[in-house]
Structure 1
Amino acid sequence: MVTIKDVARVSGLSTSTVSRVIRGESNVKASSRAKIQKVIADLGYRPNINAQALVSSKSNTLGVVVPMVSMPFFGALVCGAEEAINENQYKVLISNAYGSEQKEREAIESLLQHKCGAIVFHSARTSDQKLIELAEEIPGLVFINRFISKIAHRCVWLDNNQGAQEATRYLIDKGHKDIAVISREDMNPDARARLDGIRTAAANAGVPIQDDLIELAKVAEMDGGRDAVKKLLARGKKFTAIMTYNDHMAVGVVHELQAQGIKVPEEVSVIGFDDLLISRACFPSLTTMHYPVAEMASYAANLAMELAEEPIEAGRTHLFMPHLVERGSVADLNKVTEPA
């Protein structure tokens, strides 16, 4: 997708000058205007769908782009965003990107065509640089569950690293030294941050995570958790606890352990991440890290609507922290006594 930045680079003029030409403002030299208009034609830039051209005619519509709204995590995200618009004169348009970079770009373009002045974007595939370019073009664009330092004031994000460290310290405080980890094979930013946090906390406590106790699953779902724990058990390595990338994988782990006659948490403890409804429906109920996704989405929606009306100071940051929810899937090994 050709951006204002591309037009500015090729024309040798500033993005602000390009933006003024696109908006039809008169305070631009005729020679500069002609050069920009030629570059726009040469590059195939489409100002009719560009957010800057829609500012004056934007509708009171909030756009929300997620990988797949049918997934519980993203369903909670959308519900959180909808809560915010209930307090404003806004409607909401939801677009699924299905984990595809091309679909993400198409979703943004579609929302712009519908004159969405405010957009909350959960991007799973688009690069940081492309997101920065989009932020330069779209005043009311906010990124959720993504941190990019250059546009930190447009990011609503969770400290996954610190959350993973907290979960790891909790297990270690409960007497667990042999800890296994199940994460996702594609290692998205969340997965990398959580694995780094686990390694950091374990190393600081003097019980580093062994490489052969880390298993990466193809899918971050229950089946992925099941398959991963089978592989861990097949190695014959000792572990008393398993940390998982998310609650769905954790529930899959619990089911597979129980299917193999391994008691949870008496023989193996399991801890998840997200605190979705499934964590409470699991038996035993799942100890997990609470991810305030609905609160974050509501905050992001309000921020996007605010940005759509007027710029905010770049110094603002929007960091949320997870917290531990203790339930029944982790045993306290400090209280286990040897038989007489």
Structure 2
Amino acid sequence: MPRHPENAAASASRAATIRDVAARAGVSVATVSRVLTGNYPVAAATRTRVLRAVRDLDYVVNAHARALAGNRSKTIAVLLSNFTSPFYNRVASGVEQQAMAEDRLCMVSTTGGDPEREVKLVETLREQNVDAVVLVGGVVDTPDYREHMARLARLLDSAGSRLVVCGRPSPGENLPVTVVEYDNAGGAFAATSHLLSQGHRRILFIGGDPANTTTRDRLDGYRRAMAAYGIEEDPGLVIVGTQLPQFAYAELKKRLAAGPPDFTAIFAWDDHIAARSLVALRESGIAVPGDVSVIGYNDEREAQDVFPALTTVSIPHMELGREAVRLALHRDNAAPNQHVMLGTHIVMRDSVRPHINA
């Protein structure tokens, strides 16, 4: 990940100015301006020195000055883990809808779930002077990642832009970051509580990367619900590893091949994992919901198309994206760290049945 150790103290206290860049490059302020605007010829060696100083100092052209010059990008950038997940696509659609309503262009890119790539993309977008950078979905938020993202949040803010995290917590406290979350842990608590209310006590949680913020929240909700019913957690009923449906399918097939299920219900990390769990159960001769109940998360289209149709937790996907843009563009400067929590709810379908032997 990019580092600027020689500049960390200065970055923490104030944003670099055009005079700082000029002093670092050994040129006049006018020359720096010419390089950055590209409206006047400058020697190649001089241009290289200026651009190096810009990078070293984390300098971004003042957003208000660029607006006066007519150079404002009028762009909202949204970074997704991938293009294939309906969750990401629907949130991005919400971002695009609101961006259009605000007369902004929407730029979409993917990180592949790589925190380092995400940091580099935000760095690049900062240099493009976008109006806001929206990060969608959970992340493996290591201390190193949080440090870099906190620095970028401050730099974006100092340039008149905004970092928005959508469906995940802020990278740190007291940062100029807009947080738009849904009640991830609350949805998991409700899903687990629903199974418990139906008499299930042996509930298998399956799927998700344990280092991912989304997995941590969903496990937290699951554990709190079990504790609320006075049920001691059985570590053997938690299977985590990756967010890939084939991981859950393989783990479940292996478990069922070893003997009859030691659980009466499954709480799947998301609907894709729930759908593959249905396949594994069916192939093993186990009926849903007759023998085992299954509940998913996200309320994707797939939840309605599988058999039996999945009971699941619904997320306000589109509203997450729309609210992210609204808050970023119309934020209250007196409240630098905005935080909005949207609700979730259970959609009842056909994959859950009371456990009659409870």
Normalised by the size of structure 2, how large is the TM-score? 0.78
Structure 1 residues 91 and 6: alpha-carbon distance in aligned structure 2, compared to 1, 3 A threshold? farther
- TM-superposed deviation, 1:89: 1.1
Give the AA of the match of 1:225: A
The residue number in structure 2 matching 1:257 is 281
- The superposition leaves residues 241-267 of structure 1 with CA deviations (integer Å, 9 ceiling, x where unpaired) of 011111110100011111111110110
Alignment-mate amino acid for residue 130 of structure 1: H
1:73 matches 2:87: yes
Match of 1:187 in 2: 211
Hey, what does 2:346 align to over in structure 1?
324
Whole-Å separation in 1 of the counterparts to 2:177 and 2:18? 24
* Counterpart mapping for 1:1-340 below 5 A: 1-2=2-3, 7=7, 9=9, 11=10, 14-16=13-15, 18-19=16-17, 21=19, 41=53, 44-47=56-59, 57-122=71-136, 124-125=139-140, 127-139=145-157, 140-148=162-170, 149-151=173-175, 154-218=178-242, 220-236=243-259, 238-307=262-331, 311-314=333-336, 316-333=338-355, 336=356
Q: What residue identity is the alignment partner of 2:57?
A: Y
Gaps of 5+ in 2: 23-48
Point out where structure 1 has 5 or more consecutive residues left out of the alignment: 25-36
Q: Cα deviation per residue 1:173-196 (whole Å; 9 max; x = unaligned)?
A: 011111111022443011011112
Deviation above 4 Å: which 4+ runs of structure 1?
19-24, 40-43, 48-56
Correspondence for 1:28 = none
Q: Secondary structure in 1 aligned to 2:330?
A: helix
SS of residue paired to 1:80: helix
How many Å apart are 1:54 and its aligned residue?
Answer: 5.7
Kept in 2, the 8 Å contact 1:51–1:137? The answer is: no
AA aligned to 1:157 is E
The 1:130/1:8 distance shift into structure 2, 3 A limit, reads closer
8 Å contact 1:49–1:112 — kept in the other structure?
A: no
User: In the aligned structure 2, how far is the partner of 1:160 from the partner of 1:95?
Assistant: 24
* Alpha-carbon distance between aligned partners in 1 of 2:12 and 2:348, rounded to the nearest angstrom: 57
Q: How many residues align?
A: 317
What amino acid maps onto 2:282 in structure 1? Q
Structure 2 match to 1:29: none
CA distance in structure 1 between the partners assigned to 2:247 and 2:203 by the alignment: 18
The structural deviation recorded for 1:53 is 7.9
Q: Percent identity?
A: 27
AA paired with 1:124? Answer: V
After superposition, the Cα gap between the structure-2 partners of 1:152 and 1:22, relative to the gap in structure 1 and judged at 3 Å, is closer
Q: Quick one: which amino acid aligns to residue 96 of structure 1?
A: T
Conserved 8 A contact 1:51-1:138: no
Say which SS state the counterpart of residue 274 (structure 1) adopts: coil
Map Cα deviations across residues 266-311 of structure 1 (whole Å, 9 max, x no partner). Answer: 100011111111111111111111121221111001222224xx73
Distance in 2, Cα, partners of 1:204 & 1:142: 34
| Residue aligning to 2:25 | none
Deviations 1:59-113 (A, max 9, x none): 1111111111222111111111111122121111111111122321232233334
SS in 2 for 1:242: strand
Residues 271, 299 of structure 2: 8 Å contact kept: yes
| Contact 1:269–1:329, Cα closer than 8 Å, also in 2 | yes
AA at the equivalent of 2:250: D
CA distance in 2: counterparts of 1:206 and 1:109, whole angstroms: 47
More displaced 10-residue stretch of structure 1: 314-323 or 205-214: 314-323
Secondary structure class of the residue paired with 1:74: helix
Q: CA deviation at 1:222?
A: 2.5
2:67 & 2:116 partners in 1: Cα distance?
25
- 2:7 maps to a residue whose letter is V
**Compared CA separation, residues 285 and 110, structure 1 to 2 (3 A):** same
Question: What is the distance in 1 between the residues matched to 2:177 and 2:126?
Answer: 21
Contact 1:161–1:197 (CA<8 Å) still a contact in 2?
A: yes
Q: What's the TM-score once normalised by structure 1's chain length? A: 0.82
